[in-house]
Chain A
Amino acid sequence: LMLTQPHSVSGSPGKTVTISCTGSGGNIVSNFVQWYQQRPGSVPTTVIHEDIKRPSGVPDRFSGSIDSSSNSASLTISGLTTEDEADYYCQSSDNHYQVFGGGTKLTVL
């Protein structure tokens, strides 16, 4: 399984952006997808786990979804703020191996 993300996305404060994570060489819906946020110089933290669940403390502006028809997962961030500017990584598993997407840099203009 390989996970492909766009290299970068951008949006204006208050707007909505969606980051895609497309699976190849495997079925992305077979195992849960997680999304991690990593600000510069910081440790990754979870914004979405098990496809659609938000950990406590993560605002409901963050949402996850799965599209089996396109074998992809998506992270949607609404009401963008400058604090959302970070790198975002999708992650899943395949037969006990773990896979990360290449990461997407979100710029809030």
Chain B
Amino acid sequence: QVRLVQSGPEVRKPGASVRVSCKTSGYTFTGYYVHWVRQAPGQGLEWMGWINPNSGATKYAVKFQGRVTVTRDTSMRTAYMELRRLTSDDTAVYYCTRDRTPSWFDPWGQGTLVTVSS
């Protein structure tokens, strides 16, 4: 069974950074891209970026370039998303999801709520 299990909720102050982890199981980790998607309260889904776990190559949405870094640890079968210089607008649920190709996101992690508040 393919599973993506994310780390728990986080609270940060404005200007801080947060790192969310996404531990995978049930499939060959290096065989599928992992994407990060976020959803602000009451808002829609917003794509942030992907990582190729095999090569480590990444691509980020223009909006987040310079502020987000996605990495992976192949030995741990885990992907990570770090977002820096947080503001209240970054308060959202952050999801990781596997790309079954072509660009079909399935399944999704359970989501991680990141709250940015002073």
Take A43-B111, A100-B44, A103-B45 as given contacts and tell me if A32 and B35 are in contact as well, using a CB distance cutoff of 8 Å: no
CB < 8 Å neighbour of A93 from B44, B103, B106? B103
Take A96-B59, A97-B61 as given contacts and tell me if A43 and B108 are in contact as well, using a CB distance cutoff of 8 Å: yes
Query: Do A46 and B105 touch (CB < 8 A)?
Result: yes
Q: Binary interface profile of B, 25-51, with partner A (CB < 8 Å = 1, else 0)?
A: 000000000010100000011110010
B:28-82 near A, CB below 8 Å: 35, 37, 44-47, 50, 59, 61
Q: Which residue of A is nearest B44, CB measured?
A: A103
Report the minimal beta-carbon distance from B108 to chain A, rounded to whole angstroms.
Answer: 5
| A contact residues, total (Cβ < 8 Å) | 25
Q: Which residue of A is nearest B47, CB measured?
A: A98
A31 on the interface (CB 8 Å rule)? Answer: yes
Q: Binary interface profile of B, 84-118, with partner A (CB < 8 Å = 1, else 0)?
A: 00000000000100001011111111110000000
Q: Which residue of A is nearest B50, CB measured?
A: A98
Determine the distance from Cα of A89 to Cα of B39 in the docked complex, in whole angstroms.
12
| B contact residues, total (Cβ < 8 Å) | 21
Report the minimal beta-carbon distance from B100 to chain A, rounded to whole angstroms.
Answer: 8
A-B contact count (CB 8 A): 61
CB < 8 Å neighbour of B110 from A43, A45, A55, A87? A43
Query: Do A34 and B111 touch (CB < 8 A)?
Result: no
**A interface residues with partner B (beta carbon < 8 Å):** 31-32, 34, 36, 38, 43-46, 49-50, 55, 87, 89, 91-93, 96-103
Query: Do B106 and A49 touch (CB < 8 A)?
Result: yes
Residues of B within 8 A of A97 (CB): 47, 59, 61
Determine the distance from Cα of A19 to Cα of B108 in the docked complex, in whole angstroms.
23
Determine the distance from Cα of A38 to Cα of B105 in the docked complex, in whole angstroms.
13
Determine the distance from Cα of A27 to Cα of B5 in the docked complex, in whole angstroms.
35
Determine the distance from Cα of A45 to Cα of B104 in the docked complex, in whole angstroms.
11
Residues of A within 8 A of B108 (CB): 43-45
Determine the distance from Cα of A58 to Cα of B47 in the docked complex, in whole angstroms.
24
